[in-house]
């Protein structure tokens, strides 16, 4: 898609300092149209295209973590905003304590 839209990273340069992982020259989204990662509708097909670009990217985990911390929308690190919210909620939930075998018997 080369319809005059920003490539990933350029939109952040225009708005201020970019997330550090966007400076990595090995990132898979380098030069990719930003619309791939910010689809109007998060259909399976649109998200799948972004995920395929993120797959195996050396900064994928950093990208996902930054987007989760920043509350960003769109596909970052191969995850949607809703997936990142669910992941955060799951990390916050206390895990049940393991049963003490001496007490359980």
Q: What is the pLDDT of residue 103?
A: 59
* Alpha-carbon torsion (52, 32, 84, 43), positive or negative: negative
Domain residue extents for the chain: 10-86
Structure tokens at 29: 């989204």
Is the Cβ–Cβ distance between 37 and 8 less than 8 Å? yes
- Output DSSP code: residue 7: B
Q: What is the pLDDT of residue 32?
A: 93
CA nearest neighbour of 30 among 47, 10, 45: 10
Per-residue pLDDT of the chain (105 residues; tens, 9 = 90+): 444 445 555 555 444 456 777 888 999 999 999 999 998 887 899 899 999 999 999 999 999 998 988 888 899 999 999 999 998 777 765 666 666 556 555
Length of the chain: 105
């Amino acid at each position: 898609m080369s319809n005059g839209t920003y490539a990933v990273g350029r939109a952040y340069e225009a708005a201020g300092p970019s997330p550090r992982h966007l400076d990595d020259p090995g990132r898979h989204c380098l030069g990719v149209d930003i619309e791939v990662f910010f689809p109007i509708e998060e259909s399976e097909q649109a998200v799948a295209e972004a995920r395929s670009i993120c797959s195996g990217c050396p900064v994928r985990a950093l990208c996902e973590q930054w987007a989760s911390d920043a509350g960003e929308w769109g596909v970052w690190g191969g995850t949607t905003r809703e997936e990142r919210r669910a992941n955060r909620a799951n990390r916050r939930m206390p895990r049940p304590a393991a049963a003490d075998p001496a007490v359980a018997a």
